[in-house]
């Protein structure tokens, strides 16, 4: 690409997540939105809301008046209905709109997606972006995180998202399929376990999945609690305080054995001369990296196999989108798809 064409190109990195989607652009704009899309159910809802489609928290707040869609589920795009297909296109269009690109720029987009979506939804993602961009690259979320951090050699990235936990070993090249792994025991799984545990212990209370997700995001932890976890939930219409410390611990730790097993298995299949280097350089990203006590818990849990060192990144929200932006900016022409 000539320098003049580069100067006219706006680069955008998108982290298309099950729970949250993030955009980071070369013009300095960085925004995020909850990964929800909603259309008014009828003419009354449309008149009340005054919008054709709603996104993120606004969609959640008005969900009773909307046909609500969460485009990604279990790490892949939901497909099969017109609404499913429209939802991802609307969400991507909204993210690009948030980047405030103007009207004169050509756009080059790199999209980070859960590893499973990269395998099965690449064409759908390409179709959703085709009306917005000239050039495209679709990569796995852990690869985009690694690229943004400069963690490109003998490093494992664990991206704990809502739909999946994605694992990727970096060894100085673009990772291959055998360098990556994905499991479903992620944030949504923890939310479901927490809802089940609370509903069983406190059948008199009204807990919803959205409520327990917020409890987890604010109070989630593994290992020994630093403080008791107390929350309010309605009982017969009156809010009552509950101590949910033990249920929170059990729910959050329910995903840990699968994560530990996958870490050990992936390292065991790597070149034996470099396994020790990888064990000492495991980076945890994604919203799940914010569980209190996670680094020390996983360090202790892997001791029975081989000592590993885990580090949680400081900015889990923007790490994927910022890395995707760097990829879009740096990537040679032959790695980009023309749309």
Domains and their CATH numbers in the chain: 3-147+318-338 (3.30.420.40), 187-253 (3.30.420.40)
Q: What is the pLDDT of residue 1?
A: 46
Q: What is the reported pLDDT for 104?
A: 62
Q: What is the pLDDT of residue 3?
A: 46
Non-local (6+) Cβ contacts of 235 within 8 A are 204, 205, 206
The whole-number pLDDT of residue 169 equals 96
**Predicted pLDDT of residue 7:** 57
CB within 8 A of 307, min separation 6: which ones? 279, 299
Residue-wise pLDDT tens digits, 208-261: 999 999 999 999 999 999 999 999 999 998 999 999 999 999 999 999 999 999
Does position 288 have pLDDT exceeding 90, yes or no?
yes
Nearby residues of 43 by Cβ (< 8 Å), 6 or more positions away: none
> Exposure of 152 by Cβ count < 10 A (0-12 exposed, 13-18 middle, 19+ buried)?
middle
Q: What is the CA radius of gyration of the chain?
A: 21
How far is 87 from 72, CA to CA, in rounded Å? 9
pLDDT in tens, 35-70: 999 999 999 999 999 999 999 999 999 999 999 999
pLDDT of residue 79: 72
The yes-or-no verdict on residue 17 having pLDDT over 60 is yes
Tens of pLDDT, residue by residue over 175-184, are 888 899 999 9
For 98-134, b/e burial (b = at least 16 CB within 10 A) is: bbebeeebebbbbbbbbbbbbeebbebbeebbeebbb
């Amino acid at each position: 690409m000539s320098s003049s064409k580069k100067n006219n190109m706006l680069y955008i990195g998108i982290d298309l997540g099950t729970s949250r989607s993030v955009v980071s652009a070369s013009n300095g704009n960085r925004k995020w939105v909850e990964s929800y899309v909603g259309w008014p159910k009828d003419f009354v809802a449309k008149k009340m809301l005054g919008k054709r489609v709603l996104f993120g928290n606004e969609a959640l707040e008005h969900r009773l008046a909307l046909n609500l869609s969460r485009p990604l589920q279990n790490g892949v795009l939901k497909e099969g209905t017109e609404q499913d297909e429209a939802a991802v296109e609307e969400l991507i269009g909204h993210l690009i709109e948030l980047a405030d690109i103007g009207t004169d720029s050509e756009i080059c987009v790199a999209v980070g997606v859960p590893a499973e979506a990269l395998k099965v939804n690449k064409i759908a993602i390409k179709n959703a972006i085709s009306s917005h961009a000239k050039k495209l690259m679709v990569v796995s979320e852990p690869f985009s995180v690694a690229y943004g951090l400069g963690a490109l050699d003998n490093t494992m990235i664990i991206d704990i998202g809502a739909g999946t936990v994605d694992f990727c070993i970096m060894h100085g090249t673009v990772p291959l399929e055998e360098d990556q792994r994905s499991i479903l025991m992620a944030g949504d799984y923890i939310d479901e376990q927490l809802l089940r545990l609370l509903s069983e212990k406190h059948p008199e209370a009204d807990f919803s999945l959205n409520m327990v997700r917020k409890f987890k995001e604010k109070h989630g932890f593994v290992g020994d609690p630093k403080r008791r976890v107390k929350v309010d939930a309605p009982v017969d219409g009156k809010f009552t305080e509950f101590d949910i410390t033990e249920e929170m611990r059990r729910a959050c730790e329910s995903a840990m054995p699968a994560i530990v097993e996958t870490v050990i298995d992936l390292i065991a299949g790597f070149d034996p001369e470099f396994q020790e280097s990888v064990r000492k350089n495991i980076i945890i990203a994604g919203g799940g990296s914010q569980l209190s006590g996670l680094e020390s818990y996983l360090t202790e849990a892997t001791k029975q196999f081989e000592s590993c060192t885990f580090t949680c990144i400081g900015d889990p929200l923007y790490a994927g989108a910022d890395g995707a932006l760097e990829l879009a900016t740096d990537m040679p022409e032959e790695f980009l798809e023309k749309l």
